[in-house]
Structure 1
Amino acid sequence: MKNAIRILVILTLLSAVLAEGLLVAGLPAALLIGPMIAAIIVAVSGGSIPLDRRLPPLAQSIIGQLMAHSLTLRVLREVVSHWAIFLGGVFSVILISFSLGWVLARLRVMPGSVALWGSSPGAATAMTLLCESYGADQRLVAFMVYLRVFLVTIATSIVSHIVVSSHGAHPLFPTDLHLPIWPCFIIVALTAVITPFLRLGAAPLLVSLALGVLCQSFLGLRYTLPEWMLAPSYVIIGWMIGRRFTRDVLGHVWRALPAVTLSTCVLIAGCALLSWPLARIAHVDLLSAYLATSPGGADSIAIIAASTPIDVPFVMAMQIARFMVLIAVAPMIATSLMRFLPGERAEVSSQAGRNTDTEQ
């Protein structure tokens, strides 16, 4: 117990110092990135971060409320009317991601199933939970997806800072003190009741988002998010990402680290290039298009987008659309591509047999 308290104190102090430094530097989402880097430092140093399992779902549900404020009924209608643009952007990012994963598998940088599941451009928690059912090493997949989230978060924050510094500042917390906050409490509480019955890693985020959109767009209920709820949520999300980078996991993937990092950087660059035509076709600014195609976690992108003067509804709509598509098609894509990898066909057939036996 004393050791856990000591680690928590060190983690909190280190998070505060790093977050304050990033805030002074003007970096967006400093309260996310500072704690994330602090958690990585503590985890790599051998410390076990004592994060209560109830806190990440709670933080995700609050970030879901942040996203819900962007997805108004007008935005949803815009998505439906321009469905081709959204599907084109979503599947383009998915194509680039799984192509890079297939290359990693062909080069045997990672086992085939791990490389394919770990290349998923979003839905990090869901992919980490789903992959084990399909025979992939959960620890290695978690490392790949959270390394991508970490690198994408850093890259998008730096790019946003460069652009924002030339266009003026933007509030860190998009709150409106003239609106009530009680609906937010009710939605977060309902989310906590509903999500245990749903077998989906990102259920708190999605349920909170859906309830928020329902209340605001269909019931006409306007409310705000208090800063004292958002700030701790940023910190918890940062800790949740950073604690994945333990010494044990890094020991398993040390040889593959340069190749996986390079692959992630290529993915970031590919999505950045994709943002150029998307910005022209969708008639949005380039930074909005870049964040919309960014293959990071929807929660971390939401935090960065909220503190950046961009088209937040467009970004969130694209991120949520890709998340939903990934949940539906990622298992099919991963298992299909595994059939074209040497040495993986037998594993796929064996796993298919096990799944059939389980269903019977």
Structure 2
Amino acid sequence: MDSGRRLLDAAAVVAAGVVAGLLLNLAHVPSAALFGGLLAGLVRALAFPGSLRVPRIAMTAAQAVIGVTIGALVRLSTLGAIGEHWLPVLLVTVGTLVLSLAAGQLLRLQPGISPVTGAFSMIAGGASGITAMARDLGADQRMVAVLQYLRVLIIVVLMPVAATAVYGASTGGGAPSAPDTPGWAAGLLFTVVCAGVGAVLGQVSRIPVGALLGPMLVAAVVDLTGLSHGAEVPGLVENAAFLVIGLQVGVTFTRESLRTVGRALPLALAIIAALVLGCAGLGALLSSATGVGELDAYLATTPGGLYAVLATATQSGADATFVLAVQVLRLFVMLLSAPLLARWLRGREKV
């Protein structure tokens, strides 16, 4: 009976997460499946503390799928758009990482936030990947998830306004054309192979968060060699992975952790605003150093909301290929450097 009740309990929470995700998707909330799972898990955790956990195997599978999703963003044609501007782009990417670290240390002014949690909460870009790996690297996954996606929401709302009012973008462009990609079955095969091989390599090589970084690197190599033929993670599989990550974060909430997040929000909002402005400044420097348009550089350096950035770039007539190249490069730098940053920050905390 206890086993049956636990199964029904878990099924009810998953169903609630799915329904919440669908409703949030209708409201055009980014990563709606993740938010839906987070809300369902949070409500369940506050109502019945400590009685439900996401199985480790489900979390590992979700990390692997998200890794493949990120790795599949890499294309030779896209990265080639950086071309002769690779050095300024790399410097701006490193500058974004430095800004993120500085913002994370400012967040530590709020009591109860560790150096790793502060840094991961403010890393600009790769919200889904950072959230998925946060717990494994010693950060408070709850704080990281809330603040990462708070920044994404702010950017999604303000970016089109800034692009139009500040950079003179027009909103009359067409919608992005659908890429010519293989079918669902090919995408599922691509996902399973990259996730499986990547997870094994990640475990054998003992890289931190190998369940995510291993599949990400394998998918990137498969894409760059042309073996994927443009295959992508099926939307249903990707949403299921986001749902699992959201549930994992949600069910670990307590009333005290929720109060801690609430107390951190005013300071976090101010720091996020400063981070967004700082990244816009890096965009101005990128435009000056490379000669690319100010709008292109602004969208390329916007700290988060990748798909919203690409939609804005396409609809405003900006160079979407260049924007995607810079965003993907930053995404990889942030995720690959995260384990090293976590180790360094934990070491400093002990000194």
TM over 0.5: yes
Distance 1:208 1:21, change over 3 A: same
Per the alignment, residue 197 of structure 2 pairs with 190
TM-score (normalizing by structure 2): 0.71
Residue-by-residue CA offset, 1:308-338 (whole Å, 9 max, x unaligned): 85554432221112223344455446756x6
- Which of the residues 222, 227, 234 maps onto 2:229? 222
Match of 2:64, as an amino acid? S
Distance 1:161 1:270, change over 3 A: closer
Cα shift readout 1:5-38 (whole Å, capped 9, x = no counterpart)? 3442332333233222223233443333332333
Give the RMSD, CA atoms, in angstroms.
4.1
1:30 has 2:32 as partner? yes
Deviation at 1:111, TM superposition (A): 6.1
For the structure 1 residues 83 and 40, does the alpha-carbon distance in structure 2 shift closer, same or farther, using more than 3 Å as the test?
Answer: farther
What is the correspondence of 1:191-270 to structure 2 with a 5 Å cutoff? 191-218=198-225, 220-225=227-232, 226-250=234-258, 253=260, 256-266=263-273, 268-270=275-277
| Contact 1:234/1:303 (<8 A) preserved | no
Tell me how far apart the structure 1 counterparts of residues 83 and 102 of structure 2 sit (CA, whole Å).
28
Paired position in structure 1 for 2:303: 294
Alignment of 1:1-360 (within 5 A): 1-47=3-49, 48-78=51-81, 81-105=84-108, 107=109, 109-110=111-112, 113=115, 117=119, 121=123, 123-124=130-131, 126=133, 128-131=135-138, 141-159=140-158, 176-177=182-183, 180-181=186-187, 182-218=189-225, 220-225=227-232, 226-250=234-258, 253=260, 256-266=263-273, 268-270=275-277, 273-274=280-281, 276-277=283-284, 280=287, 283=292, 286=295, 289-290=298-299, 292-294=301-303, 311=321, 312-329=324-341, 331-332=343-344, 347-348=350-351
* 1:194 alignment partner AA: L
TM-score, normalised via structure 1 length: 0.69
Deviations 1:276-330 (A, max 9, x none): 42673564785885575426xxxxx567678885554432221112223344455
Deviations 1:235-273 (A, max 9, x none): 22332343443335335x368434553355335533553
SS in 2 for 1:109: coil
- Judging changes above 3 Å, is the alpha-carbon distance between structure 1 residues 270 and 3 closer, same or farther for their aligned structure 2 residues? farther
CA contact (8 A) 1:173 1:306 kept: no
CA–CA distance in structure 2, aligned partners of residues 307 and 57 of structure 1: 31
Q: Which runs of 5+ in 2 are unaligned?
A: 164-169, 315-319
The code of the aligned residue for 1:31 comes to A
1:71 Cα shift?
Answer: 0.9
Indicate if the aligned counterparts of 1:66 and 1:302 stay in contact, CA closer than 8 A.
no
Report the alpha carbon displacement of residue 188 of structure 1 after superposing the two structures with TM: 1.9
